[in-house]
Amino acid sequence: MPGTRVTIKDLAKRMNLSVSTISRALHNNPSIGAETTAEVWKLAKQLGYFPNSVASNLRRRKTNMIGVIVPRIDITFHSHVISGVEEVAYKMGYNVTIYQSHDSLEREVAITSILQTNMVAGIIACLALETQDCGHFARFNNQKVPLVFYDRVSNDLEASKVIIDDFDAAFRVTQHLINIGCKRIAHIAGCLTTSIFSARLDGYKAALAKNNLPFDQNMVCCASDLSYEEGARCTKKLLKLTEMPDGLFCANDYTAIGAIQVIKKNNLRIPEDIAVAGFSNYPVSTIIEPALTTIDDRAFEMGKTAARMLIRQVEERDTNIASETIVIRTDLIVRDSTRRQPVQP
Amino acid sequence: MPGTRVTIKDLAKRMNLSVSTISRALHNNPSIGAETTAEVWKLAKQLGYFPNSVASNLRRRKTNMIGVIVPRIDITFHSHVISGVEEVAYKMGYNVTIYQSHDSLEREVAITSILQTNMVAGIIACLALETQDCGHFARFNNQKVPLVFYDRVSNDLEASKVIIDDFDAAFRVTQHLINIGCKRIAHIAGCLTTSIFSARLDGYKAALAKNNLPFDQNMVCCASDLSYEEGARCTKKLLKLTEMPDGLFCANDYTAIGAIQVIKKNNLRIPEDIAVAGFSNYPVSTIIEPALTTIDDRAFEMGKTAARMLIRQVEERDTNIASETIVIRTDLIVRDSTRRQPVQP
DNA sequence: TTAAAATAAGCAAACGTTTGCGTAACTTTT
DNA sequence: AAAAGTTACGCAAACGTTTGCTTATTTTAA
């Protein structure tokens, strides 16, 4: 019978049992006899029965769907996070539906409406760049739908977070550049209204201060979108300074690669003339020449952690929604772009 | 009232109307007076009503969920396809849920069960490498759930497909290598039981034949997983041949990059000694030096096309399920890795 | 041997919508 | 002025499960 779906009603009729018995049998409920249970399972297999989770969700008033909001899926970092989310969600019996905000607040708001309409069990989100006010997420607190932010998080909202210590990571990168002898370290920053990028700038400043190096505003250039092109643009600007930098810390790997290409075109040596470091450990950082020193932000791990955290909150919903924050450990990965002979003091 | 959700029943009570009237009003059904409709909408906004799509889906016996099965989300090609799928799905009012098969048949089968349980409206899938027999997809034909394969497709199943013309693309790449003067062109192939990779090999052979160049089995090396490492391994093998190749066509960009790195390490010049071309136009192909000549497979476009095709089939379900095949146009992108002075005949 | 307890299964409502059909009240036609 | 048509809405069933409560039967305890 093509087009028709076999339901527990059909099973009930065929076996002269009530639908409730069938339902309980299929859940291996002990109040149904072992023999009956076995026969129900057998017939279910035979008839190709598949439970209808839509009906089940309606009755149970909850789905097993996790909604994920990312700025863009085709950005390496996010696709790795999603991969991690899917991995644990699958193992825990949850489904994952994804939405791209394209860094637009308007779209992010629309997506939250869709998620509410779809009765998702929980939400994992990375805020759009445009988003300052998170009011549109507040509704989930009322509906007791757990919410976990990752990477770009909201501070004015009661919600769990999975982040890396951007300040610390930036500090360590900068300290590393100092350790190999850099005296004039420039920074290509991201959009500073975003906390992660301002934290990276702060970490950079702190490392300079700790080592008694002066901070020079001219040595910081803000890239609007963290692309190759912006990295190249900023680098050209930095190379025109009367006192050229001898080290460069970029807020992500893309800008770092744009920087490397410009530096090489200017016949400067990396790392001898300028040492370069990035942030994120994208696959491309091993391909560029010289290979790029960077921070591994462990995106996959971040996704897995966020999913685990969310699912735990979903399943403990009745007890309490304690919002928690997990900081993922990052690794400094040193490659040729900063591999100099250490300076002798 | 936190935790409680307002339903059309609530609206009905508050307005002394029946639920059917509310439902119709919210769908702007003309059989409801304009004034009433306006008031219903007003109260709905005021009370923060959100439709419950789970209930709606159950009643309508269809969801607006598109299931996507990819080998891995964090592979550039697939994340771009997904991005395209999400883009058109969002605009057409569909949701996207994603699953990774990890190229495992077992997992792919399990995922199809989940999709059936979840009553997805349609499915977009790229077959797992392990998958030879597509019996587990047959159930969707019975249930009249449209199915669109992309990239790696099944030939023994009635289903729609979005593909590129791998034969043609490979032919054009090879012809290009011949045009710039290559006489001994090697090929790093993918798993030849997969149709796209055998098609690429065939296109390569056809171009050789057309130009009266001999085909030499030793000049073909199969990479098991299309990674950098496999590309490097194959290249080392090819460089040991008594008659070294002067051109190399790789089945994807990753192997091409592995190849370039090995060739450079052997102090051979690209493209003068060996010209190299890849396949897929991954972002990294512009970063490697020399920049890689490759085929742009237009993954984003592929995703959009697959989604459009699927949604059309979903919405025309009653009329007929004509399975169709769309071939996406590919572009040969010439970069420095094959930029030689053209030979003078 | 009878009461109490355990076992196995059924009844029916509920989850929140959608929709075919029915029916008032009102308007238009002949 | 009666018949026909239109407008605006209600009734109730249905979608496929889940689950609290009840009931019939069997087993155990006293």
Taking the CA atoms of residue A94, residue A96, residue A97 and residue A101 in that order, the dihedral angle to the nearest 10 degrees is: 130
Q: How much is the pLDDT for A194? A: 87
A93 vs A307: CA distance, rounded Å: 12
Query: Angle CA(A280)–CA(A286)–CA(A290) in degrees, nearest 5?
Result: 110
Question: Residues B126-142: pLDDT tens digits?
Answer: 999 899 899 999 999 88
Q: Which of residues 271-300 of A touch B (CB under 8 A)?
A: 283-284, 287-289, 300
Length of chain A: 345
Q: How much is the pLDDT for B1? A: 42
**Which among A324, A311, A307, A321 has a CA at the least distance from the CA of A144?**
A321
Query: Angle CA(B220)–CA(A284)–CA(A232) in degrees, nearest 5?
Result: 130
A134-161 mean pLDDT: 90
- Which of B2, B86, B287 minimises the CB distance to A98? B86
Q: How confident is the model at residue A1 (pLDDT cuts 50, 70, 90)?
A: very low
Q: B298 - beta bridge partners?
A: none
Alpha-carbon distance values, A159 to A121, A324, A330, B213, B296 (Å): 15, 7, 22, 65, 42
CA of A35 to C1' of D24 (A): 19
A118 chain-B contacts, CB cut-off 8 A: 53-54, 95
Start-to-end CA span in chain A (Å): 84
Q: How much is the pLDDT for A4? A: 78
B300 vs B298: CA distance, rounded Å: 6
A143-170 mean pLDDT: 92
Where is A249: in which H helix or E strand?
strand A247-250
Q: Give strand letter and number of the nucleotide nearest B58 (CA to C1').
A: D15
The torsion angles phi and psi of A195, rounded to 5 degrees, stand at -60, -40
A181 vs A160: CA distance, rounded Å: 40
**Which among B114, B123, B112 has a CA at the least distance from the CA of B68?**
B123
B114 vs B117: CA distance, rounded Å: 5
B234 vs B251: CA distance, rounded Å: 12
Burial of B339: CB neighbours in 10 Å, binned 0-12, 13-18, 19+: middle
- Which of B54, B80, B114 minimises the CB distance to A74? B80
A99 chain-B contacts, CB cut-off 8 A: 86, 90, 95-96
Q: Which of residues 160-219 of A touch B (CB under 8 A)?
A: none
B94 and A CB contact within 8 Å: no
Question: Residues A62-109: pLDDT tens digits?
Answer: 999 999 999 999 999 999 999 999 999 999 999 999 999 999 999 999
With an 8 Å Cβ cutoff, are A116 and B50 in contact?
A: yes
Task: Fill in the amino acid letter for B291.
Answer: A
**Chain B residues 6 to 35 with C-beta below 7 Å from nucleic strand C:** 7-9, 19-20, 23-24, 26-27
Q: A326 - beta bridge partners?
A: A162
The DSSP secondary structure of A117-128, one letter per residue, reads HTT-SEEEE---
For residue A242, give the 3-state DSSP assignment: coil
Q: How much is the pLDDT for A345? A: 46
* Per-residue confidence in pLDDT tens, chain B, 345 aa: 445 789 999 999 999 999 999 999 999 999 999 999 999 999 999 999 999 999 999 999 999 999 999 999 999 999 999 999 999 999 999 999 999 999 999 999 999 999 999 999 999 999 998 998 999 999 998 888 999 999 999 888 888 999 999 999 999 999 999 999 999 999 999 999 888 999 999 999 999 999 999 999 999 999 998 899 999 999 999 999 999 999 999 999 999 999 999 999 999 999 999 999 999 999 889 999 999 999 999 999 999 999 999 999 999 865 666 789 999 999 999 999 999 865 544
Q: How much is the pLDDT for B143? A: 85
- Strand D and A58 CB separated by under 7 Å: yes
Average pLDDT, chain A: 94
Query: The whole model's pTM is what?
Result: 0.92
Question: With pLDDT > 90 as the criterion, what percentage of chain B qualifies?
Answer: 88
Task: Fill in the amino acid letter for B205.
Answer: K
Q: How much is the pLDDT for B3? A: 56
**Chain B residues 38 to 57 with C-beta below 7 Å from nucleic strand C:** 49-52, 55-56
A187-194 mean pLDDT: 93
Chain B residue whose CA is closest to A90: B99
Q: Report the nearest residue to nucleotide C15, CA vs C1'.
A: A59
Question: Residues A304-331: pLDDT tens digits?
Answer: 999 999 999 999 865 666 789 999 999 9
Residue A2 clears pLDDT 70, i.e. is over it: no
With an 8 Å Cβ cutoff, are B50 and A95 in contact?
A: no
CA of A59 to C1' of C14 (A): 7
B201 vs B189: CA distance, rounded Å: 7
Q: Measured between CA atoms, how close is B261 to chain A, in angstroms?
A: 9
Residue A60 clears pLDDT 50, i.e. is over it: yes
Alpha helical stretches, state H, B19-74:
19-26, 34-47, 53-60
- Strand C and A18 CB separated by under 7 Å: yes
The DSSP secondary structure of B277-325, one letter per residue, reads E-SB--GGGGTSSSPPBEEE--HHHHHHHHHHHHHHHHHTTTT-----E
Q: Residue A82 has which token pair?
A: 């999603």
- Strand C and A34 CB separated by under 7 Å: yes
